Chains A and B, each alone.
Chain A
C-alpha cells in the first residue's frame, strides 16, 4: 500500500468529515432530531481486525452495505465500501423513529420488513450525502450499488465487507464516524473503506489541489502589492 503522510491522512479525514456532516444533516431531517457526530477516526488496521473496530464479534447488529465505484473513461473502477451499522437495539429504535411510531416495549431479536426497508433507505440517503465531498475532490462521478442489508452477528456481517480488500492488501485505512441521536439511545456507525488505488488517486488529487491553492494564494499577494 502507498504510504500516506499525516498531512494527507488528515486532509482525507477532513473530506470525509464534510461528507459525514451532510449525512448527519440528512439524518437530522429524517428523524426530526439533533444529531451528534464524531470527527472521523482514522486507523490503519489489519483487514482481519476491521470488524472489531465497531464492536464485539458476537453483537447482534443491523448493517447496510454499499459498494462504491467511480466512472473513469467510461469504465467503472472500484473506489471502496461504505457500511452503515447499528447495534440491534439502536436499529429497532431508529426504525421506530423513522416510521414515526413508538419503539416496541418488548425487546425482540427480529426486525420487521418495514424496519428493514426504512434502514436500507436511510443507509442509501446517508451514503449519497456523504459521498458528494469525495466525488468532488476526486473529480469523478461516483456510482453506489443498491443498499445490501444484513441482520446478524457483527463479525459475520462485517467480514463480507472485507472481501474486496482481502486479496489485495494486508492493512486498510479505516474511517469511522459515530452518530448519536439526541434523546434516544441510538448509536450508529459509518465505516468507509477505500480501495488502495482510490486512496492513491485521492492523495494525488489533494496534492494538486493544494499546490493550485497555494499558487493562487501567493499570486494574490503579488497582485496586491
Chain B
C-alpha cells in the first residue's frame, strides 16, 4: 500500500500515527525537527523559520514558525496520542548559511536554539545533518523513523 504523504510548508508542523511520508523542501537556514516514538510509531515534524519565539502578545504570531514553541506543541500532541517522553528521539536538519557576506548566521543560531530546547525537554538528538552552505530536501518516513535528505549540490543521504 502506498503511504500517505504530507507536505509541510514553512511554519507548519504535523503529528501522525499512521505511516506517512512527511516532506519539507527548500530548507536553507530554516530548521526541520523530526520527533519519533518507535514504540507507538507516532511521529511529529515541524519546518521552523527561527529558533526562538519572541512571545510578542500583540503580534500573535504562528507558534510553528519558531522551533521552541513548535517542539512544545508537537510533544503535547504526541503525549495525547499516548507517547511516553522517554521513548521519543529527535533528528534535526537544516540551519545552512547560503548567502555570502552574511553578517549574522541565522542557520547556526537556529541549530543552537533547537539543541538547547531539546536538551531542556530531555529529548536526545540521535542524528543530524545541519550547517553547511546548501539547501536540503527532507523526507521523513514515519513507518520506520528514517529520514532521507536530498540536495541540489551534494549527495542524498539517509539518517
Chain A positions near chain B (C-beta within 8 angstroms):
46-49, 51, 57-58, 60, 65, 109, 145-150, 152-157, 159-160, 162-163, 166-170
Do B101 and A170 touch (CB < 8 A)?
no
Q: Tell me if B100 and A152 are in contact (CB < 8 A).
A: no
- Asked whether A162 lies within 8 Å of B49 as measured between CB atoms, the reply is yes
> How many residues does chain B have at the interface if contact means C-beta atoms less than 8 Å apart?
33
User: In the complex the two chains form, is A166's CB within 8 Å of B26's CB?
Assistant: no
- Tell me if A156 and B28 are in contact (CB < 8 A): yes
A44 to chain B: closest CB distance in Å? Answer: 15
Determine if B62 is an interface residue (Cβ-Cβ < 8 Å). yes
The docked-state distance in angstroms from the alpha carbon of A154 to that of B137 is: 12
Within 8 Å by CB of A167, from B26, B56, B103, lies B56
Tell me which of B28, B100, B103, B134 contacts A159 (CB under 8 A). Answer: B28
- Are A51 and B26 interface neighbours, CB within 8 A? yes
In the docked arrangement, what's the CA distance between A125 and B16, Å?
49
Residues of chain B with a CB closer than 8 A to A146's CB: 101
Is the pair B25, A163 in contact by a Cβ cutoff of 8 Å?
no
Contact string, B131-159, partner A, CB cutoff 8 A, digits 1/0? 00011110000000000000011000000
Interface residue from A48, A152, A154 paired with B49 (Cβ < 8 Å): A48
Q: Could you say which residues of chain B place their CB within 8 Å of the CB of A166?
A: 49-50, 61, 65
B residues 8-39 near A (Cβ < 8 Å) are 9-12, 25-30
Chain B interface SS verdict (over half):
loop
Whole-angstrom CA separation of A159 from B153 in the bound complex: 18
* B89 interface hit (Cβ, 8 Å): no
- Expressed in whole angstroms, the minimum distance between the Cβ of B14 and any Cβ of chain A is 14
Q: Kindly provide the distance from the CB of A152 to the nearest chain B CB, expressed in whole angstroms.
A: 4
Closest chain B residue to A50, Cβ basis: B10
Picked from B12, B27, B50, B59, the residue with its CB within 8 Å of the CB of A156 is: B27
Chain B residues within 8 Å of A, Cβ to Cβ: 9-12, 25-30, 49-50, 54, 56, 59-62, 65, 96, 98-103, 106, 134-137, 152-153
A-B contact count (CB 8 A): 107
Write out the residue numbers on chain B whose beta carbons fall within 8 Å of the beta carbon of A145. Answer: 103
The contact sample of 21 A-B pairs, CB cut-off 8 A, is A46-B62, A49-B9, A57-B26, A149-B101, A150-B98, A150-B99, A152-B28, A152-B153, A153-B28, A155-B25, A156-B96, A156-B134, A157-B26, A159-B29, A162-B49, A163-B50, A166-B65, A167-B56, A168-B59, A170-B61, A170-B62
- For A65, the closest partner residue in chain B by CB is B99
Bound Cα distance A157, B136 (Å): 11
Q: Which residues of B contact A170 (CB under 8 A)?
A: 59-62
CB distance from B48 to the nearest CB of A (A): 10
Instruction: Tell me the bound Cα distance from A216 to B50 in angstroms.
Output: 49
Q: Is the CB of A48 within 8 A of B56?
A: no
**Contacts A49-B9, A162-B49 given; does A156 touch B56 at CB 8 Å:** no
Check if A159 sits within 8 Å of B49, measured CB to CB: yes
Q: Please report the C-alpha to C-alpha distance between residue A156 and residue B137 in the assembled complex, in whole angstroms.
A: 9
| Bound-complex Cα distance A160 to B94 (A) | 12
Inter-chain contacts of B29 with A (CB < 8 A): 156, 159-160, 163
Given contacts A51-B10, A146-B101, contact A157 B65 (CB under 8 A): no
Cβ-defined contact, A153 with B10, below 8 A: no
Q: Report the minimum CB–CB distance from A46 to chain B (whole Å).
A: 8
